[in-house]
């Protein structure tokens, strides 16, 4: 079973230029505020509090980098700020948008993107723009559906089909995340993307 052997927090940065040239492949996690990025990082790494979780949307406002060892492959997980949180000031929202955009357009060494999408929430212009940007930069993108534990099997299947249609994908192209779901399928995709570099 594919799993994490070791993980540690490395650095937080308010600008892409503050990050060193990536010595390892980078896997970026992005999604709306409060979609569950920090929770997923903790589950991927098998730790309860490696990434700080909060019930308060908009908590992550920096690029947070974690070094991880999976199946003898060292890599960096990069937790990007969440987008779409209306209660931040317009200036702060704009700054976070620029930080995410700069990372996605300027950063070298990105091996794949994990775009977290709440299963029940329709895809927005932001998510579709990220998908398009990933395509333009030839960055492998995995859509990870979150908050699926709250759904029964029929609802999960229904929302999976809806989200897949919005992203012009097949339902099997999406990965379901939740406390009852294994993270092994996510790691397998990440490692496959690194191997294909």
Residue ranges per structural domain of the chain: 4-195
Q: What is the pTM assigned to this prediction?
A: 0.93
Mean pLDDT, the chain, integer: 91
Gyration radius from the chain CA atoms? 16
The two tokens of residue 188 are 């397998």
pLDDT in tens, 84-121: 775 677 887 788 889 999 999 999 999 999 999 999 99
Residues in the chain: 197
Q: Which residue has the tokens 């209660």?
A: 87
Whether the per-residue pLDDT at 56 is higher than 70: the answer is no
Whether the per-residue pLDDT at 177 is higher than 70: the answer is yes
CB 185 within 8 A of CB 114: no
CATH topology of domain 4-195: Rossmann fold (3.40.50)
The two tokens of residue 54 are 């909060």
Whether the per-residue pLDDT at 49 is higher than 90: the answer is no
pLDDT in tens, 119-171: 999 999 999 999 999 999 999 999 999 999 889 999 999 999 999 999 999 99
């Amino acid at each position: 079973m594919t799993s994490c052997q070791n993980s540690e927090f490395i650095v937080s940065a308010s600008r892409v230029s503050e990050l060193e040239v990536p010595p390892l492949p980078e896997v970026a996690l992005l999604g709306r505020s409060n979609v569950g990025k920090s929770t997923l990082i903790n589950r991927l790494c098998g730790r309860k509090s490696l990434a700080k979780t909060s019930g308060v949307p908009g908590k992550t406002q920096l690029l947070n980098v974690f070094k991880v060892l999976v199946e003898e492959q060292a890599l960096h997980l990069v937790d990007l700020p969440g987008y779409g949180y209306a209660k931040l000031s317009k200036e702060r929202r704009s700054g976070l948008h620029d930080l995410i955009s700069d990372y996605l357009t300027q950063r070298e060494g990105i091996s794949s993107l994990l775009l977290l999408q709440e299963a029940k929430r329709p895809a927005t212009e932001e998510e579709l723009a990220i998908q398009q940007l990933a395509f333009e930069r030839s960055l492998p993108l995995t859509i990870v559906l979150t908050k699926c534990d709250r759904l029964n099997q029929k609802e999960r299947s229904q929302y999976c089909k809806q989200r897949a249609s919005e992203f012009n994908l097949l339902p099997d192209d999406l990965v379901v995340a939740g406390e009852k779901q294994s993270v092994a399928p996510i790691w397998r995709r990440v490692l496959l993307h690194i191997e294909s570099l």
